[in-house]
């Protein structure tokens, strides 16, 4: 049965390629080569080979990859042509020249729309020759919609480093990891075992993104610190430094079980995009949108995409089986009754600023308190998110209070309660931190270069927000159940 499904997928893939702008000569050569290909099973993977070269590869999760037939490929090695998910949906299409040079490729993003990358079409002030990333129009062809950003040009035929990406905030959710995964695929095809990032932005965010398509040896904390060492100075000076972490290609594959749902698989399900939200398995990334793994009595595994705080689910949004098929969507509608002050106090704000500043560049610290002082932080009913923003009002999910109080009821000592309070405040700071930092950046960007320099020179060397003794006193009260209203569902 698996073989017939594979043949159906192969037929659908050829039909899809016929509608794309690959040459008729290549399409004919591919069909001819497939007719004489020999099936081989190696390490639980079914492949079709011609003259000892891979022509079609079926992954354990059902994806199909087609390669350029040997008659159209140089002797340097196999050239990846296209990838389809198990439903036959085109995920990746690469365009090679007759000399075996990659000219461009298009790849489907998490939101289902295609990104296009064109080689050597731009230049960057910091690193020179660059490849452009575009949003594409439609399902077929390579019709440019708009330019999104660019990254440093690489030698796709013999990959030797991982390039810097300019202005990643202009990309759709997950687009950076989408492009990096193509480099991982090409590096894997070429047998690369060590690749290093070379550029001015070796950030923690990039480190986490690289983990989705590459792996490294060593303790995660130490490797993260090594990777990000000197990141701030490198970014300011646009230094093309090489981060001293060795990355080995370990690409993922993706599958669309529904139109607005994308499942990312590698060692099981690692990431899910669903209707604009991205959920991560906790061992890959710490996020309030998390994948819980449950094993049922019959030993079957299922994945639950949930809204989390303190490691506890507030809402379950999506249930998937081990292969990424959707099993259900639990109802999540809730409303909350609150007794006591619902607006966070100035002391709460000062505690949050202290924690946000600890994870922010010194360039922003002078602007953090003015920003959070303008915000009104309120506990209330929020559905599907941990917080929402409307103007200067930030509404926080009241279910977080319930989760905290339930966790507090289980602590066995005053020290354990203090640690829980610190964790709760830290998670809350990480939730609103990006909003506060973004507004602080906007304020600083509105200043002249001279005013920015003055702001930096006269910023206080002391920690922003509550000083140590006041922060400890605040967390002690929080550990006693104070500083929060009581909640109930209705």
340-362 tens-digit pLDDT:
889 999 999 999 999 998 888 77
Give the model's confidence band at 478: pLDDT under 50 very low, under 70 low, under 90 confident, else very high: very high
Of the two residues 392 and 454, the one the predictor is more confident about is 392
User: Distance between alpha carbon 435 and the CA centroid of its chain, in Å?
Assistant: 18
Distance (Å, whole) CA 454 – CA 449: 9
Q: Is residue 236 over pLDDT 80?
A: no
Q: What is the pLDDT of residue 11?
A: 92
Nearest to 279 by CA among 256, 267, 262: 262
Give the model's confidence band at 2: pLDDT under 50 very low, under 70 low, under 90 confident, else very high: very low
Q: What is the pLDDT of residue 446?
A: 73
Give the model's confidence band at 5: pLDDT under 50 very low, under 70 low, under 90 confident, else very high: low
Q: What percent of the chain has pLDDT over 70?
A: 95
Average pLDDT over residues 220-227: 93
pTM: 0.88
DSSP string, 410-465: T--SHHHHHHHHHHHHHHHHHHHHHHHHHHHHHHHHTS-HHHHHHHHHTS-SSPSS
Three-state DSSP state, 7: helix
Q: What is the pLDDT of residue 75?
A: 76
User: Distance between alpha carbon 354 and the CA centroid of its chain, in Å?
Assistant: 27
Give the model's confidence band at 88: pLDDT under 50 very low, under 70 low, under 90 confident, else very high: very high
Three-state DSSP state, 67: strand
pLDDT in tens, 95-114: 999 889 999 999 999 999 99
Per DSSP, helices labelled H in 141-199 are: 175-189
Supply the DSSP symbol for 162: B
Q: Is residue 155 over pLDDT 80?
A: yes
**Residue count of the chain:** 490
How many of the other CB atoms lie within 10 Å of CB of 45? 11
Average pLDDT over residues 31-43: 88
Question: Tokens representing 262?
Answer: 């994308």
Supply the DSSP symbol for 409: T
Of the two residues 247 and 241, the one the predictor is more confident about is 247
DSSP string, 192-250: ---B-BEES---HHHHHHHTTTEE-SS-HHHHHHHHHTTHHHHHHHT--EEPS--BEE-
Report domain extents, the chain: 2-249, 253-328, 336-489
Of the CA atoms within 13 Å of residue 43, those in its CB half-sphere come to: 2
Question: Contact, 219 vs 226, CB < 8 A?
Answer: no
Q: Is residue 334 over pLDDT 80?
A: no
Give the model's confidence band at 4: pLDDT under 50 very low, under 70 low, under 90 confident, else very high: very low
Distance (Å, whole) CA 298 – CA 333: 30
Q: What is the pLDDT of residue 490?
A: 59
Question: Contact, 444 vs 456, CB < 8 A?
Answer: no
Nearest to 278 by CA among 161, 361, 374, 173: 173
Question: Tokens representing 154?
Answer: 């690489």
Nearest to 162 by CA among 174, 153, 149, 173: 153
Distance (Å, whole) CA 45 – CA 34: 17
Name, in order, each residue with C-beta under 8 angstroms of 449's C-beta and a sequence gap of 6 or more. Answer: none
Q: What is the pLDDT of residue 364?
A: 80
Stretch among 156-160, 288-292, 462-466 having the lowest mean pLDDT: 462-466
Q: Is residue 458 over pLDDT 80?
A: no
Average pLDDT over residues 24-36: 92
Strand segments, DSSP code E, in 18-142 are 38-42, 45-50, 53-58, 64-67, 80-84, 90-96, 102-108, 114-124, 128-137
pLDDT in tens, 119-143: 999 999 999 999 999 999 999 999 9
Longest dimension (CA), the chain: 76
How many of the other CB atoms lie within 10 Å of CB of 242? 12
Q: What percent of the chain has pLDDT over 90?
A: 72
Stretch among 87-101, 293-307, 420-434 having the lowest mean pLDDT: 293-307
Dihedral class, residue 393 (left if φ above 0, else alpha if ψ from -120 to 50, else beta): beta
pLDDT in tens, 48-83: 999 888 999 999 899 999 999 988 887 777 899 999
Q: Is residue 412 over pLDDT 80?
A: yes
Nearest to 77 by CA among 157, 156, 155: 157
Average per-residue pLDDT in the chain? Answer: 90
Q: What is the pLDDT of residue 389?
A: 94
pLDDT in tens, 360-395: 877 787 889 899 999 999 999 998 899 999 999 999
Q: Is 277 exposed, middle or buried (0-12, 13-18, 19+ CB in 10 A)?
A: middle
Q: Which helix (H) or strand (E) holds 321?
A: strand 312-321
Question: Contact, 421 vs 475, CB < 8 A?
Answer: yes
């Amino acid at each position: 049965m698996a073989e017939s499904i594979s043949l159906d997928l192969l037929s659908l893939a050829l039909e899809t390629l016929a509608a794309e702008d690959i040459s008729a000569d290549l399409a004919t050569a591919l069909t001819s080569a497939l007719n004489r290909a020999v099936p081989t099973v190696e390490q639980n993977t079914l492949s079709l080979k011609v003259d000892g070269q891979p022509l079609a590869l079926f992954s354990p999760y059902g994806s199909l990859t087609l390669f350029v037939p040997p008659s159209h490929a140089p002797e340097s090695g196999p050239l990846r042509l296209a990838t389809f998910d198990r439903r036959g949906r085109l995920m990746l299409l690469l365009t090679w020249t007759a000399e075996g040079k990659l000219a461009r490729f298009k790849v489907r993003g998490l939101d289902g729309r295609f990104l296009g990358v064109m080689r050597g079409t731009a230049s960057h002030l910091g690193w020179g020759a660059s490849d452009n990333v575009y949003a594409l129009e439609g399902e077929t062809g390579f019709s440019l919609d708009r330019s999104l950003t660019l990254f440093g040009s690489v030698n796709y035929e013999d990959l030797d480093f991982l390039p810097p990406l300019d202005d990643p905030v202009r990309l759709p959710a997950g687009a950076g990891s989408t492009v990096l995964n193509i480099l991982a695929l090409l590096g894997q095809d070429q047998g690369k075992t060590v690749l290093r990032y070379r550029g001015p932005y070796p950030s923690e965010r990039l480190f986490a993104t690289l983990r989705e398509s590459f792996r490294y040896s060593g303790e995660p904390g130490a490797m993260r610190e090594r990777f990000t060492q000197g990141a701030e100075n490198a970014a300011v000076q646009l230094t093309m430094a090489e981060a001293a972490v060795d990355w080995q290609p370990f690409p993922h594959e993706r599958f669309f079980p529904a139109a607005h749902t994308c499942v990312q698989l590698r060692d099981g399900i690692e990431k899910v995009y669903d209707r604009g939200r991205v959920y991560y398995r906790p061992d890959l990334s710490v996020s309030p949108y998390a994948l819980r793994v449950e094993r049922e009595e019959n030993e079957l595994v299922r994945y639950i995409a949930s809204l989390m705080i303190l490691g506890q689910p507030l809402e379950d949004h999506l249930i998937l089986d081990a292969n990424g098929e959707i099993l259900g969507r639990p109802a999540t509608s809730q409303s909350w009754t609150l007794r006591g002050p619902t607006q966070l106090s100035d002391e709460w704000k000062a505690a949050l600023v202290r924690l946000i500043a600890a994870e922010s560049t010194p360039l922003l610290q002078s602007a953090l308190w003015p920003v959070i002082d303008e915000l009104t932080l309120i506990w209330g009913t929020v559905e599907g998110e941990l917080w929402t923003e409307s103007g200067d009002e930030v509404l926080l999910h009241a279910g977080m209070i319930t989760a905290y109080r339930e966790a507090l009821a289980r602590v066995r000592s005053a020290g354990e309660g203090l640690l829980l309070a610190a964790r709760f405040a830290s998670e809350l700071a990480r939730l609103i931190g990006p909003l506060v930092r973004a507004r602080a950046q906007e304020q600083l960007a509105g200043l002249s270069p001279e005013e920015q320099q003055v702001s930096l020179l006269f910023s206080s060397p002391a920690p922003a927000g509550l000083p140590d003794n006041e922060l400890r006193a605040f967390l002690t009260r929080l550990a006693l159940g104070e500083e929060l209203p009581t909640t109930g569902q209705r």
